[in-house]
Amino acid sequence: MHRIVNQLGKGSYNGINRLPVRRGQTATHIQDLEPKPFSAIPEPRKLPLLGTAFDYRKFEPKQFHKRVLKRHQELGPIYKETVLPGMTPTIVFTSSSDDLQKMLKIHASMPQRGEMKFLKKARESFGFHGGVASVNGEEWYKMRKQINEHFLNTESVWTYAKEHYEVSKDFADFIQNNLNEENEVPDFRLAMQRWAFEAACVFVLETRCGTLSGEVTENVKVIIDSTSDILVGFVPLFFGLPLWKYFPPKILRLSKRQYLIKCLLFEDIEKTCSMKRTPVIYQGWRKLCMKVPLLQQESILADFLGGGIVTTQHAAAFALYCLANNPEKQEVLRKEIKEFKKKDNISGKTLQGLKYLHACVRETQRLFPLTLGFSRIIPKDLILSGYLVPKDTLVLNVGNIMNNRDERFFKDPDEFLPERWLTSREPSSRFAMSGSFGQGPRMCPGRRFAMQELNCLLVALLDKFHIEYHHKPFELEFQALFAPSEDPQFTFIPLEK
Ligand code: HEM
């Protein structure tokens, strides 16, 4: 069995040596009956007016998660931080699974994440709606209701499965046609972006754009680059000082990207992609979209194209990496796929039967979670890890990165063991992580599409190639969501038929 390279070897985690959480501070030992005051929550060293801002002088946004891990090691399972008092919110960071359960139990019909005023401002600066991710309250609720009707309805997601499988088969052919002498595809990162773009277009624009069969046009490159740039640009805007309020250039870059996407998407998709548009379904999505005001329609489409490319691209890279490093697991999965294909055609429904495939995807997301965790502005006072946290505080549960390789929750935590998801789970591990898609009514609306795309990709690629990886080990790199630190340059050895 191959160990999924844990960056510094045993006992280390994401490049940081793991220390046990402080004794007596684990949530299970804490009496909720007598909560300690909010002011007693541990904090990193701070200066009277400057908070912890001085810590961010040489801040490397891509390593943000390492900062969070280090603070947890120094301060225990809960801490709070105010980067610049009066300018940035106080954020409570917790890794306790009890706290996660409590956050999940609050039933808010209109949950709020941390505010993304910068995104709203960037979009509004050129007359574009803020989008579902950046608004709150009634406005969010109305938009989200329309979106859920289509995006979270399994039947409607399954309608696109055939086309998603076609995209992934085209991608397998693309790989086959572009292999070099080392059996690698030069610039495989761009190739994966093409796959993710094409797969997102299937359900967002209900169009095949042909990016896997022809040259990628400049316009498509701009769309793809913009969607990844926007996410990377989020990090300092979200976690850093709110300089964007005073220095517009910071936000102008984001606006420019958003603006380009808007023009390219809505002015003329055929001209944009320089190819004949091939409608694929035209079933519910466009009709549904028409129910909301025009400005919101545009923003919903941009949100989904923006939200649906980089995310699945990274999820796919991590999955291929885990399978490439664990050839015997790869073989078990290939066997499941081959058996399945003898009996059944690929459809949204039949794909649900591939249990080992789902287990591989879950195990990948345990080892390489795509997000830090689960964040909410809590709608009422809550006792977290024994402290009274007042209503309206922004709380970030970072169990995804603190607990995912902790043996208190997962046996042999550094091993890639999809089998652990096939048997009944240890109850203690249930709330260790919030999962990559968030939780509750504000959970990612694209999750079913993302999983369908990923499942189709693994079926199409494993059916055709044995996959290996011979470069530097992947680490997590924070780009609002987690991306692989290395180029996803895999070796594809065609299988004999
Ligand atoms: C593996 C892929 C993906 C991951 C890991 C991911 C992760 C997330 C997470 C963690 C959230 C916040 C949820 C919360 O606060 O509880 C979110 C929200 C969102 N995601 Fe995804 N996502 C993925 C794919 C997609 C796709 C394919 C789309 C679009 C088609 C999409 C569109 C969105 C949108 C629009 C929101 C904002 C929802 C709201 O605020 O109501 N995501 N996503």
Task: Decide: 484 in ligand 1 pocket, CB within 6 A.
Answer: no
Task: Decide: 157 in ligand 1 pocket, CB within 6 A.
Answer: no
Question: 408 C-alpha vs ligand 1 centroid, how far in Å?
Answer: 29
Task: Decide: 315 in ligand 1 pocket, CB within 6 A.
Answer: yes
By most ligand atoms within 8 Å of CB, the mutation choice from 148, 227, 444 for ligand 1 is 444
Print pLDDT tens along the chain (497 aa): 444 433 323 333 343 334 444 433 444 444 456 899 999 999 999 988 888 988 888 778 888 899 999 999 999 999 999 988 888 889 999 999 999 999 988 877 888 887 677 777 777 766 677 778 888 889 889 888 888 888 888 988 998 999 999 999 999 999 999 999 999 999 999 899 999 989 988 888 777 878 888 777 777 777 777 777 766 666 766 666 666 666 655 555 666 666 666 655 655 455 554 444 455 554 455 556 666 666 666 677 777 777 888 899 999 999 999 999 999 999 999 999 999 998 888 899 999 999 999 999 999 999 999 999 999 999 999 999 999 999 999 999 999 999 999 999 999 999 999 999 998 777 778 899 999 999 999 999 999 999 999 999 999 999 999 999 999 999 999 988 899 999 999 999 999 87
The residue among 317, 455, 433 whose CA lies nearest residue 372 is 433
The residue among 207, 197, 206 whose CA lies nearest residue 174 is 197
CA distances in angstroms from 434 to 33, 115, 392, listed in the order given: 26, 20, 20
The residue among 146, 115, 296, 312 whose CA lies nearest residue 227 is 312
Q: How many CA atoms are closer than 13 Å to the CA of 458, on its beta-carbon side?
A: 34
Task: Decide: 125 in ligand 1 pocket, CB within 6 A.
Answer: no
Instruction: Give CA–CA dist 32/34, Å, rounded.
Output: 6
DSSP 338: H
**CA distance between the termini of the chain:** 27
Question: 307 C-alpha vs ligand 1 centroid, how far in Å?
Answer: 6
Instruction: Give CA–CA dist 492/464, Å, rounded.
Output: 9
Instruction: Specify the amino acid at residue 62.
Output: K
Task: Decide: 446 in ligand 1 pocket, CB within 6 A.
Answer: yes
Instruction: Report helix, strand or coil for 389.
Output: strand
Instruction: Give CA–CA dist 139/132, Å, rounded.
Output: 8
The highest-level CATH class for domain 12-494 is: mainly alpha
Instruction: Report helix, strand or coil for 183.
Output: coil
Sign for the CA dihedral angle at 386, 390, 391, 395 comes to negative
Q: What is the DSSP string of 23-38?
A: TT-SGGG--TTSPBPG
Task: Decide: 306 in ligand 1 pocket, CB within 6 A.
Answer: no
Task: Decide: 113 in ligand 1 pocket, CB within 6 A.
Answer: yes
Which atom of ligand 1 is nearest to 131's Cα?
35
Sign for the CA dihedral angle at 458, 427, 440, 81 comes to negative
Instruction: Specify the amino acid at residue 37.
Output: P
Task: Decide: 197 in ligand 1 pocket, CB within 6 A.
Answer: no
Q: What is the pLDDT of residue 248?
A: 58
Instruction: Give CA–CA dist 12/483, Å, rounded.
Output: 19
Question: 478 C-alpha vs ligand 1 centroid, how far in Å?
Answer: 16
Q: What is the pLDDT of residue 120?
A: 75
User: Domain residues of the chain, as ranges?
Assistant: 12-494
Task: Decide: 480 in ligand 1 pocket, CB within 6 A.
Answer: no
Instruction: Report helix, strand or coil for 390.
Output: coil
CA distances in angstroms from 66 to 14, 45, 69, 94, 372, listed in the order given: 7, 17, 5, 15, 11
Task: Decide: 132 in ligand 1 pocket, CB within 6 A.
Answer: yes
- Cβ atoms of residues 191 and 185 within 8 Å: yes
Which atom of ligand 1 is nearest to 453's Cα?
27
| Helix locations, 179-293, DSSP H | 188-204, 218-239, 248-266, 269-273, 285-289
CA distances in angstroms from 372 to 22, 23, 159, 287, 433, listed in the order given: 21, 24, 32, 35, 10
51's CB contacts (< 8 A; 6+ apart) are 81, 82, 83, 84, 85, 88
